[in-house]
Chain A
């Protein structure tokens, strides 16, 4: 496609707008570059221990400095981020375990089960959750979820702890892995639901009708025809939600219980995540005269960025591939709902 016929004007306009358009590219590279350069001293000091050790200690910030491999470091400083990585992994993975089935069902219902005003309303309300500020959700977690876990859920679950070790106490405050998991699950649900709903809505009416013609019930059409048709998009939607859960900071900071230097052992253990620990530790890191604490946080931020950008980029590719396949198969007439589809899914 030749974009616009050549005129002297086009060059200028194209250059100006094109310059603005490189901004996202430049910003992404800048973020990655700054973190990578800034993380080098911490990686030189710690090596692989940065991600395999469980002790995160900024050292004596007002005392002498020692030199490790030629780099000045506060005495006693040790940067082992394993608990943060484990906390991130567990909280986000468990959140997906809770959110995926619920979000998938909600997407199925809003795509096929509801019509007209009801469909629009349910879709808008679920999308609204994605727009809520994370501190508001965190505050709700503290006010509603944490007391619920402490007073209602934990006494029941810990009774099973005798047989299932990861359900055992102590419960302390109700803040911890379970609270973080549920808050994250709520935050990623609208992301998965709206992505999946759009994909499901694009499944061509013909193949759904073929399902009905073959004698399938309406639920069987969903399960055996529609969901397989958007398979790679589903994986993408889940990865998109997962990337969100990994990067979420404030809500986890508020309800996670701020663990340091311990790995979570039960559902009620206090945890911290990579994102939450960056927010939590920056204040203290500022007072490090050698600046090593900041380099260590840069390394954490770099790890976080690589993981979450990796999952979300992968997910977008999968969603787009699935969506393109659908577009290719779909002709404009499909927009009109045929009597078959509307009867079967009403």
Chain B
């Protein structure tokens, strides 16, 4: 039997389905292009090199304090999250009994599902008020580290899982101590995955705003190296709050901050991807 109309419909649906898929993908990529294009255009149009060595004053000035503050916060938060994160990942992949590993992975998933504003809020009530630290670098860095921790744990865990437990058993059979097995064999083999996960986590720290508003505060001064009791500035704050000011100079600063954020995050992401691909080979 032959159903010509049915056959025609089937034949038409095929290009229609794929066509809509292409359009959807193009739409998403066009939005990305619009974001990067607009931020680049606006940011570069008002860019002056002096933002690198001038601090913010009032609604104008430069971004020296914010740039250094962002790097200072990201450095501490990444240090604070990478050490326990890598340790937890190693434990999960090679040492833990399966049930424990499952529970820890589950906790990581729960933690990465917590909205960043909630982490910032708890950081405020516990660290800033409870411990009496005030707005400071350490409170901000701890809030960021809580967001980064599950990413680094998962990256380490996945990097070692790719290796498989045969490598571990082989190293043990060859007479290495368990410590040497974990550190020399496991960590070295998983190093690209660990590093790429850490760089991605650093990119997250650079781009976060909500958890910092009430832990790091804001400061127009260049960070002085203290961890407690002194608020610190960061780029995302400028991009968010200066665009709401009615002055062109403030808008220019917001565009510049967004431009620097975009460049910083893209560089970190590209580096992370490059490392991850090298690790796969």
A binds B: yes
Binding site for B on A (CB under 8 A): 1, 3-5, 7, 9-10, 13-14, 16-18, 20-25, 27-28, 30-31, 34-35, 38, 101-103, 105-106, 108-110, 113, 122, 124-126, 128-129, 131-140, 142-144, 186, 189-190, 193, 217-220, 222-223, 243, 246-250, 253-254, 275, 278-279, 282, 294, 297-298, 301, 304-305, 308-309, 311-313, 316
Instruction: State which of B28, B35, B153 has its C-beta within 8 Å of the C-beta of A126.
Output: B28
Interface contact A24-B258, CB-CB below 8 Å? no
Bound-complex Cα distance A252 to B181 (A): 48
Task: Check A139/B243 contact, CB under 8 A, given A16-B87, A28-B114, A308-B113.
Answer: yes
Please determine whether B95 and A4 come into contact, CB atoms closer than 8 angstroms. Answer: yes
A14 and B9 CA atoms in complex are apart in Å by 63
Contacts A125-B29, A294-B125; A136 near B13 (Cβ below 8 A): no
B contact residues around A110 at 8 Å (CB): 25
The 5 closest A-B pairs by CB, nearest first: A247-B115, A133-B207, A312-B113, A20-B87, A105-B24
Q: Tell me, in angstroms, the Cα distance from A217 to B110 when the chains sit together.
A: 41
A177 to chain B, nearest CB (A): 19
Q: Are A135 and B91 interface neighbours, CB within 8 A? A: no
What are 14 A-B residue pairs whose CB atoms fall within 8 Å in the complex? A16-B87, A18-B96, A27-B111, A31-B114, A103-B28, A105-B21, A106-B24, A126-B29, A217-B14, A218-B14, A253-B240, A294-B125, A301-B117, A305-B115
* A129-B31 in contact (CB<8A): yes
Which single member of B84, B209, B265 contacts A20 (CB below 8 Å)?
B84
Q: Give the Cβ gap from B157 to chain A, nearest Cβ, in Å.
A: 10
12 more contacts with CB within 8 A, not counting A28-B111, A133-B261, A279-B117, are: A24-B104, A102-B28, A106-B21, A129-B31, A133-B207, A134-B207, A135-B261, A139-B254, A275-B117, A305-B115, A309-B113, A312-B110
Cβ of B239 < 8 Å from any Cβ of A?
Answer: yes
Residues of B188-218 whose CB lies within 8 A of A: 200, 203-204, 206-210, 213-214
The answer for the CA separation of A253 and B172 in the assembled complex, in Å, is 54
- Asked whether B24 lies within 8 Å of A101 as measured between CB atoms, the reply is yes
B83 surroundings in chain A (CB, below 8 A): 20
Minimum CB–CB distance from B203 to chain A (whole Å) comes to 6
A210 to chain B, nearest CB (A): 18
A25/B103 contact (C-beta < 8 A), A3-B97, A9-B177 known: yes
Task: Please give the distance in Å from B105's CB to the nearest CB on chain A.
Answer: 9
* Residues of chain B from 10 to 56 with CB closer than 8 A to chain A in the complex: 10-11, 13-14, 16-18, 20-25, 27-29, 31-32, 34-35, 38-39, 42
B98 at the interface (CB under 8 A from A): yes
Contact: B21 with A24, CB < 8 Å?
no
Question: With A21-B87, A106-B25, A122-B25 in contact, do A35 and B236 touch (Cβ < 8 Å)?
Answer: no
Q: Which residue of A lies closest to B181 (CB)?
A: A4
A125 to B32, CA, bound (A): 8
Chain B contact surface mostly = helix
Closest residue of chain B to A7 (Cβ to Cβ) is B178
Q: A124-B273, A125-B32, A278-B121 are in contact. Are A142 and B243 (CB under 8 A)?
A: yes
Give the distance to chain A from B247, nearest Cβ to Cβ, in Å: 15
A24-B150, A135-B239 known; A305 and B114 CB under 8 Å? yes
- A-B pair number, CB within 8 angstroms: 273
A280 to chain B minimum Cβ distance, whole angstroms, is 10
- Is chain A's interface secondary structure helix, strand, loop, or mixed overall? helix
| Of the residues B91, B124, B168, B239, contact of A282 by C-beta under 8 Å | B124
Q: Given B28, B29, B31, B239, which contacts A136 in the complex, CB threshold below 8 Å?
A: B239
Given known contacts A126-B29, A132-B207, A139-B254, is B153 in contact with A24 (CB within 8 Å)? yes
> Which residues in A have their C-beta under 8 angstroms from that of B133?
none
Q: Does B118 contact A (CB under 8 A)?
A: yes
B84 to chain A: closest residue by CB:
A20
The interface residues of chain A lying within 8 Å CB-to-CB of B125 are 34, 38, 294, 298
Asked whether, in the complex, the Cβ of B18 is within 8 Å of the Cβ of A20, the reply is no
In the assembled complex, which residues on chain B have CB atoms less than 8 Å from the CB atom of A126? 25, 28-29, 32
**Cβ–Cβ < 8 Å partners of B25 in chain A:** 105-106, 109-110, 122, 126
**Which residues does chain A contribute within 8 Å of B77, judged by CB atoms?**
none
| Residues in chain B near residue A254, CB distance under 8 A | 240, 243
Distance of A312 Cα from B106 Cα, bound (Å)? 11
Q: Is B262 engaged at the interface, CB distance under 8 Å to the other chain?
A: yes
Cross-interface CB contact of B178 among A10, A28, A129, A248, cutoff 8 Å: A10
Does B108 make an interface contact (CB < 8 A)? yes
CB-defined contacts of A125 to chain B, threshold 8 Å: 29, 32
By the criterion CB–CB under 8 Å, are B177 and A7 in contact?
yes
Known: A102-B28, A105-B24, A140-B34. A20 touches B88 (CB 8 A): yes
Across the interface, do B38 and A13 meet the contact criterion of CB distance under 8 Å? no
Inter-chain contact A109/B111, CB cutoff 8 Å:
no
Task: Assess whether A250 is in contact with B17, with CB atoms less than 8 Å apart.
Answer: no
Does A109 contact B22, Cβ atoms closer than 8 Å?
Answer: yes
Given A27-B111, A105-B21, residue A136 in contact with residue B35 (CB < 8 A): yes
